[in-house]
Structure 1
């Protein structure tokens, strides 16, 4: 089987397992499908001769492909098991369509189309095979394209002249706070440095991410019957709305780009006595990040003064820090750049307006930059994966192993 066919076959097999994470669940993993996928991958790794394959109680899979270059640095690759929940179906039905310059019909029954004028990046892939979903779900190339690339790498390392030790980890619940990377036992992922392969189009490299925090603000009001409400009733829903109104409307994800930070008010649940507001705080700059957190506190005090009979409490929890602060092993970046140069892939360094498991691992002392899967429009029903870009992601991983063996 050639590489391209193996990549596609593996992707379809892994995509068929429903592994959408559940942000409402406190367990790790947050969904049973992730454990099912972990078990499948562990069995496949053992069949490929991977040593020390281990699946822990959190569905974290680790293993190492031992090499014959004892002086080479050991390299790690990590991908996440979960797909994102954006309110679409958890079941992915991938298909391959050839792009011939015209709109692609994803689902005739539902009249869902991937239109060129809305997604002009398609034009880069004229005449090529493209993997898409059926328009009812995300495709899940974020991150099953990476899983397929890593598993194909493990299957083909023995064909190389030589390689050092290659560690692999698959972790759950990246999409809901990088939970799996926090629980990963680094003793089982004992490489010198590692790479996440996650999202992003051909050539994209992530050496910079947001600083991130989540916030919950709880507004407690005073319930009263309308016949006697004047001067007594305190509506917690209006407290929350006034709190939100105190922030700049342009300081939101839909109004920012590049290195601009934002507040994202994600969810509001209210009844007569209480309203719970959840928000995300993002900023590339550490000082700006701290200012944003202080702004939450200031607005809570202002709203409390506006509603003296009510009460407000809030909690801010740091999610991850900018990965650029912790990429301490220069070899990881140097090998990645050398691999891309050797393959003729133009590097596109982007400030990631999000986070990767690498941000957590780098902060834990394991330098873990990120490179592309080759996919576009992740977290969308219009997600698509050009097969040549998918293959290039695998080729970068393989070339890193080859260059590490020769170093």
Structure 2
């Protein structure tokens, strides 16, 4: 048996739910209290709509690969999803609403070295692994995910594959502010140029690919979805907590494609970790919000 415990001393947030039923995993994997819980909310919503709530047209989409580049949302055929606005239901504690996300990009930096036998390596060998390490050393060690919070951006060097000839380094770039996001991209280019000068017989090339944009810009162009969500929560007596999500949702992609898509809570805590837990009362409130949105959209 695994000796894994969800301890109050380490997770005092659980004290808010003393006496309530809480869903947990066994600690050997994530619970899925964001994505799986959202599917449960949506499926229950569909089962109850016709019996409990008058509604207009309601479209539902389940897409894969949110966690690895939101490829499902990017591939959606929007002619089959003809919505004026939409919602994602993903993570977050009771009452939390996401109207802002990171701007996000991924970057691959490839270092090409010069291989040589140790007996004749002096002045000739260019080690691509050391080139990659030198590249990383030019970035502020405190501008990383583990050293930042709230609206602070970061670089995240995630993966390095190397041999004696070539090294491939993967980095993620995140920033809420558009200008800051562009400065981070420019920083990659600056350091790459320094590496070219430092290792003239080697080579450095990079490619930056945008993953998603801050959802706030798109939502500002059409505020109906947000207004309806806030009204639903108000009528249900749920206090709203607007947060800037240090991540992204499929809603960021859909919003950029013309369908404003804010995100609201499943009620979960510590998502994407072995200490995830989902209080059942908060979970039920997520469903109530979804039902109320459909009702309000029909009557208004």
Which range, TM-score by smaller chain? Answer: over 0.9
Matched residue, 2:260: 367
Matched residue, 1:394: 287
Choose from 227, 233, 236 the match for 1:343: 236
Structure 1 residue 329 displacement after superposition: 2.1
Matched residue, 2:184: 292
| Unmatched 5+ stretches in structure 1 | 1-108
User: Is 1:211 equivalent to 2:103 in the alignment?
Assistant: yes
Matched residue, 1:353: 246
Structure 1 residue 343 displacement after superposition: 1.1
Change (3 A) 1:274 1:161: closer
Q: Distance in 2 between matches of 1:119 and 1:187?
A: 45
Structure 1 residue 142 displacement after superposition: 2.3
Structure 1 residue 225 displacement after superposition: 1.1
TM-score by length of 2: 0.98
**Residue 30 of structure 2 aligns to a residue in which SS?**
coil
Q: Distance in 2 between matches of 1:110 and 1:296?
A: 42
Q: Distance in 1 between matches of 2:17 and 2:10?
A: 15
Q: Distance in 2 between matches of 1:120 and 1:277?
A: 38
Q: Deviations over 1:72-108 (max 9, x none)?
A: xxxxxxxxxxxxxxxxxxxxxxxxxxxxxxxxxxxxx
Structure 1 residue 253 displacement after superposition: 0.8
Structure 1 residue 161 displacement after superposition: 4.9
For 1:257-272, list aligned pairs within 5 A.
Answer: 257-272=149-164
Displacement over 4 Å in runs of 4+: none
Q: Larger relative CO (CA 8 A, sep 6+): 1 or 2?
A: 2
TM-score by length of 1: 0.73
Q: Distance in 2 between matches of 1:351 and 1:153?
A: 27
Q: How many residues were matched structurally?
A: 299
Q: Is the 8 A contact 2:53 2:294 kept in 1?
A: no
| Unmatched 5+ stretches in structure 2 | none
Q: Deviations over 1:296-321 (max 9, x none)?
A: 00000011111111101100000011
RMSD: 0.8
Q: Is the 8 A contact 2:53 2:291 kept in 1?
A: no
Q: Distance in 2 between matches of 1:376 and 1:196?
A: 17
Matched residue, 2:136: 244
User: Is 1:192 equivalent to 2:105 in the alignment?
Assistant: no
Q: Distance in 1 between matches of 2:101 and 2:210?
A: 14
